[in-house]
Amino acid sequence: MPGKLKAKIVAGRHLPVMDRASDLTDAFVEVKFGNTTFKTDVYPKSLNPQWNSEWFKFEVDDEDLQDEPLQITVLDHDTYSANDAIGKVYIDIDPLLCSEAATVISGWLPIYDTIHGIRGEINVLVKVDLFNDLNRFRQSSCGVKFFCTTSIPRCYRAVMVHGFVEELVVNEDPEYQWIDRIRTPRASNEARQRLIFLMSGELQRKIGLKVLEMGGNAVVGYLQCFDLEGESGLVVRAIGTACTLEKISTFPATATHPNNSSPSKDMKEPGFGEEAPGVPLSSGPPTPLRAQTFSSFSPSKSYSRQSSSSDTELSLTPKTGMGSGGSAGKEAGPLKALLRQQTQSALEQREYPFFTLTAFPPGFLLHVGGVVSARSVKLLDRIHNPDEPETRDAWWEEIRQEIKSHAKALGCHAVVGYSESTSICEEVCILSASGTAAVLSSRFMQDGPLDTEHRFEEVVSPGCGFCHIPYDELNIPFPAQLTYCYCCRRYKVPDVLFTTIDLPTEANVTGKGCLIQARLCRTKKKAQGEGNATAISSLLPFLEYELHTQLMNKLKLRGMNALFGLRIQISVGETMLLGLASATGVYLTALPSPGGIQIAGKTPSDITYEQHISTMQKKINDTIDKNKELYEINPPEVVEEIIGSPIPEPRQRSRLFRSHSESSDEVSELDLSHGKKDAFVLEIDDTDAVEDIHALLTDSPTPAGFYSCNTEIMPGIQNWTSAIQMFTSVRVFRLNANLTNQGLNKIFSDLCENLLKSLYFKLRSMVPCCLCHLNFTVAIPEDELIQVAVTAVAMSFDKEQPLENGKQSGEKTLIKAITENDEQLQFNLELNAETSSHNPLSSPKGLSEVGSHLSARAPSVDYSSFADRCSSWIEQLKLKAHTIRRGSVKTTSSLEKASPLPEGRSRSLRSNRSYSGSSVAVVKMTPLSFIPGAKIIKYLGIINMFFIRETSSLREEGGVSGFLHTFIAEVFAMVRAHVAALGGNAVVSYSMKECVFMENPNKNQAQCLINVSGDAVIFVRESELESTSVQTQSATTHTSNGGEGT
């Protein structure tokens, strides 16, 4: 299915001087796609050439369109010698292939050279004409939309969530090919950049094919990573969640002010059928997903050892409240056992019930079990055949299987907030995967057990339901201390909850949250090959255990009881291992109040020693009190009678849950040893404990006016202003040789703390503000070097809450009315979708096989006819956005197709931009999925860029800091320029996934690789929307007509 790619080179500006004699440049441009190259004329003697070329046309297959970037090279013409390259621009044309994304790329793009950085800008126009009609177009993978955002994108509604998609491609790294010895650094860098561009395109296309096969039209939470394995090759891998998305009316005015819109106009909107191909109604029966990648599974190398663990909260106290537990608990027990059984059988049928999403439509996430993670140490060997990346696939398969079994052990059938990462040092590679075991909603399923579950979940209030344990309390695979939920008093909850997801918006939270980090450094002997791998695998469990203990201590020190967005990063170097765990601590109202931390000495004979302990104890208690005040944690007093059993106040020493086979032994053993103590005890004789206490007390509090979290939103703060500041900060620290573990720990911890302090200082003008999505990445680029990179966004908020509250409540009532309306419509739509397409419906619990006798309780809608057919585990999870929570973000009328307005709006934005002459359009960047005070009206496509920068004049460029500072600024500039060229004004879900920095100061050289990604969007300020809402009602038709015309 061919398409025609058209490119026009308009002009250049700020070009560098290439001819010393004249101080000018004779520039021309080569435009290359695939194997076809076009050239412009030479524009002599100018630094601001006006080529104004013809349209260069490339007739190509859409497969190539997806894989290849458009490559634009600017050169200086030289009559006597070879032409000198000024720089290149790679343009990803993928956004142009999707009917809902951008339509044209037009604007000033920086000309980039890997040695000199940005060298002027070039103005280009790029368009794609696809010859096929839209329906045929859908059969190819290029209609699939990609989103980095790990929640359902703001202007879409999930019709179905199909599940996990993954793919990896491998190749030789050009940097390590023999030819690299004879080519210039520039040629080598460009070969690498181009290869990675190609591999990303290929990966995206392959994933797209899988999505189409599953019947979806989009990938959400798309996470693409590079493994630079050095000699052994280059791996590009990606995971994501396949969904069927449907665009919701992008004009919120119709939703928030339904009275303003006359019905006749509303009727008109659905007439524009742009979205039609995206709606699953018209799709044929999707082919069931097969586990393609894993048919070639082969056991991993015998010398690689594997270590894994899952972090869950556990307690060793015998459960005292068991006997007197209310009837609900008793009833839930056997039911859950049943569900779990069913889950198990379902799991066997399902390859990976994983979801890369971290935020969910309301009602989707039922219960959260806890964090599951797995790690594996592997020895890298050369990838012999790039076309069959079996080994790497097998490695990941192993890990995923393990994650799956951990989730199963927690009584969960799914893993959400799932992510994968690697750390490579020489030939050793640590593969890590983590996620949150969870039970997801199956409310549209109709079998018996499902029905009970339906009832089960309906009773539960959304604010606490996800905290209720998914596992069977009579048969817990690990010791946990359970109490009745402090919100509904009906179901059991654990005392502490760790998760990798964002805080659900509906969660009941007391007070505010804060960033909690556990940092750890462990020395390791230098070793080679197998010995090294063994040494690392034996260190890993200890590292994880200590990180976990640190997290737990710090959580308690802040008087909180749950962690969200937990991300544990383990980095390997030649002589040490680094562990950094970051999460956002909160106090979940549903969970019991955490106990204090008690310090105990082993030899209580000495009086001075006792005093020392008591001062420490006092310090800790003071800190806890102070923190409670700081984070406004004052949970309502618990009336114990209601609960029916004395709540075992504080919890006992936490232990790491290693793997569920071991844990059963530990239960009894540890219960005996620690059963009697009633607070979290730190024994001070223990060197670890000294370290722990030290680590606890050295964390300095955030300065006044600042809050921090690593999740999307901060509980307790709603009224964001529009002021946002995204930033990246990188630090590299050189260590002295011969440090002890403790010394290392302190240095590492100080490094992180100081970095945070610097951030607070830098951003002091934004107070009161919250640093959101604080994402730390650690690396050991060399022996004795620690690199920490942070990307986050600072967002200001208004302190005056009461005013806002009043406004919100007003809005809420309005929204409520809409919601009801919406719900009905949606339900209808989904019904239609199911009946017409005959998708194999299956329950997340695999309930079709079990308990048909319970179907008596089935709701009035009868799905059983097709439900019977489903033999495999969920391919689709029904999503029903049944509540609207976020003000004007969501809208009604599910029948209408995309309003044509954004189209018109984007055009007007663009035209504004060109009218404004010289000034550059502002592009906002944020790691979050939203922009405060604004509404995203259109997603223009994914931004995924990879750059290499190298210098052999490091000192002249201001040393390593000057070099990296310039490079990061250049990367930002290029991202902004490409977004602006797509017609966008912001990047959301931005992340810097890779920042590999290498230096050789003796040779005056340095090299850096950066990979960034995000979603290009158009947003409109809510204030603008409100002010124009009335006018636009009448202008809508007009605008759209104008839009169609062009």
Partner 1 sequence: MSVELDVFVGNTTIMDKEVYQLWLNGYTVNDAVKVRIEGGVMEECEASAEVLLSDTMDQYRTFQMCERLLHHPAKLANQLLFQIPPDRQAMLIERYYAFDDSFVREVLGKKLSKGTKKDLDDVSTKTGITLKSCRRQFDNFKRVFKVVEELKGPLVENIRQHFLLPDQLARDYAAIVFFANNRFETGKKKLQYLTFQDFAFCAGQLINNWTLGAVGKTNNMMEDMDVDLDKEFLQDLKDLKILITDKDLLDQHKSLVCNALRGKTNVFNEMEANFKNLSRGLVNIAAKLINAKDVRDFFIDLVEKFIEPCRSDKWTSIDMNLYLTHYTNSAHILDTFKHHAVWTRYMGVIKSCILRMYHD
Residues that bind partner 1 (CB under 8 A): 13-14, 108, 110, 118, 121, 703-704, 725-736, 747, 754, 757-764, 785, 787, 918-920, 922-925, 958, 960-962, 964-966, 968-970, 972-974, 976-977, 997
Give the whole-angstrom CA distance, residue 35 versus residue 37. 7
Alpha-carbon distance of 648 to 566, in angstroms, equals: 26
Question: Smaller CB distance to partner 1: residue 913 or 938?
Answer: 913
Rg, C-alpha atoms of the chain: 29
Give the number of other Cβ atoms within 10 Å of residue 75's Cβ: 22
- Closest separation in Å from C-beta 928 to partner 1: 13
> What gap in Å lies between CA 370 and CA 518, rounded to an integer?
18
Query: Residue 948 and residue 196: Cα distance in Å, rounded?
Result: 11
Backbone torsion region of residue 314, taken as left when φ is above 0, otherwise alpha when ψ lies between -120 and 50, otherwise beta:
beta
Smallest gap from Cβ 724 to partner 1, in A, equals 8
- CB of 290: closest distance to partner 1 in angstroms? 43
Classify burial at 649, counting beta carbons within 10 Å of its beta carbon; exposed 0-12, middle 13-18, buried 19 or more. Answer: middle
CB of 763 to partner 1, least distance (A): 8
Q: Contact 795/932 with Cβ under 8 angstroms?
A: yes
C-alpha distances out from residue 460 to 327, 363, 466, 564, 995, Å: 15, 11, 9, 21, 45
In this structure, what DSSP letter does residue 488 have? T
Q: What is the DSSP string of 773-830?
A: EEEEEEE--STTEEEEEEEEEEEEE-S-HHHHHHHHHHHHHHHHHHHHHHHHHHHHHH
Query: At its nearest, how many Å lie between partner 1 and the CB of residue 725?
Result: 6
Among 937, 909, 760, CA closest to 107: 909
Q: Which is nearer to partner 1, 658 or 731 (CB)?
A: 731
CA distance 41 to 56: 13
- Nearest to residue 528, comparing CAs of 415, 428, 629? 428
Q: In the bound complex, what is the minimum distance in angstroms from residue 787's beta carbon to partner 1?
A: 8
User: ∠ CA 628-633-635 to the nearest 5 degrees?
Assistant: 130
Q: How far is the CB of 77 from partner 1 (least distance, A)?
A: 25
CB of 946 to partner 1, least distance (A): 18
Q: Which is nearer to partner 1, 330 or 764 (CB)?
A: 764
Nearer to partner 1, 359 or 1016 (CB): 1016
How far is it, in rounded angstroms, from Cα 419 to Cα 948?
25
3-state DSSP: the chain helix, strand, coil percent, rounded to 5? 35, 30, 35
Closer by beta carbon to partner 1, 110 or else 470: 110
Which residue lies nearer to partner 1 by CB, 614 or 961?
Answer: 961
Q: Minimum CB separation from partner 1 for residue 881, in Å?
A: 31
Give residues with Cβ within 8 angstroms of 293, minimum separation 6: 166, 167, 393, 397
Nearer CB in complex with partner 1: 427/957? 957
5/977 with CB nearer partner 1 = 977
Q: Compare residues 873 and 946 and give the one whose CB is closer to partner 1.
A: 946
The least CB distance from residue 52 to partner 1, in Å, is 19
On whether the CB atoms of residues 627 and 558 are closer than 8 A, the answer is yes
Residue 15 CB, shortest distance to partner 1, in Å, is 13
Return the number of other C-beta atoms located less than 10 Å from residue 327's C-beta. Answer: 8
Closer Cβ to partner 1, 863 or 947, answer by number: 947
Amino acid at 721: T
Q: Which is nearer to partner 1, 338 or 763 (CB)?
A: 763
Task: Spell out the alpha helix ranges (H) of 655-716.
Answer: 660-674, 687-698
Q: How far is the CB of 28 from partner 1 (least distance, A)?
A: 22
Whether 170 and 233 have beta carbons less than 8 Å apart is answered as yes
Shortest gap between Cβ of 1015 and partner 1 (angstroms)? 15
Task: Select 516 or 735, whichever has its Cβ closest to partner 1.
Answer: 735
Q: Which amino acid is at 150?
A: T
**Terminal Cα-to-Cα distance of the chain (whole angstroms):** 25
The rounded distance, in Å, linking the Cα atoms of 493 and 486 is: 8
Q: What is the dihedral sign for C-alpha 706, 708, 714, 719?
A: positive
Measured from the CB atom, the residue of 697 and 922 that comes closer to partner 1 is 922
Least Cβ distance, residue 407 to partner 1 (angstroms): 38
At its nearest, how many Å lie between partner 1 and the CB of residue 960? 5
Cα distances (angstroms) measured from residue 702 to each of 516, 564, 748, 995: 11, 19, 18, 27
Helix (H) or strand (E) holding 393: helix 390-409
- Angle of helix 741-762 relative to helix 687-698, nearest 10 degrees, comes to 10
Q: Taking the complex as a whole, how short is the minimal distance between the CB of residue 999 and partner 1, in angstroms?
A: 8
The least distance separating partner 1 from the CB of residue 625, rounded to whole angstroms, comes to: 20
DSSP state of 47: S
| Cβ at position 711, least distance to partner 1 in Å | 20
For partner 1, the closer of residues 663 and 985 by Cβ is 985
Rank residues 782 and 1026 by Cβ distance to partner 1 and give the closer one: 782
Residue closer to partner 1, measured from CB, 690 or 723: 723
Full 3-state SS string of 175-198: HHCHHHHCCCHHHHHHHHHHHHHH
Q: Residue 123 has which token pair?
A: 């103005």
Separation CA 900–CA 1044 (nearest Å): 9
768 prior amide bond cis, ω within 30: yes
Which of 272, 748 has the CB closer to partner 1?
Answer: 748
Assigned token pair, 483: 């109490």
Nearest to partner 1 of 246, 699 (CB atom): 699
Q: Which residue has the tokens 């292939």?
A: 97
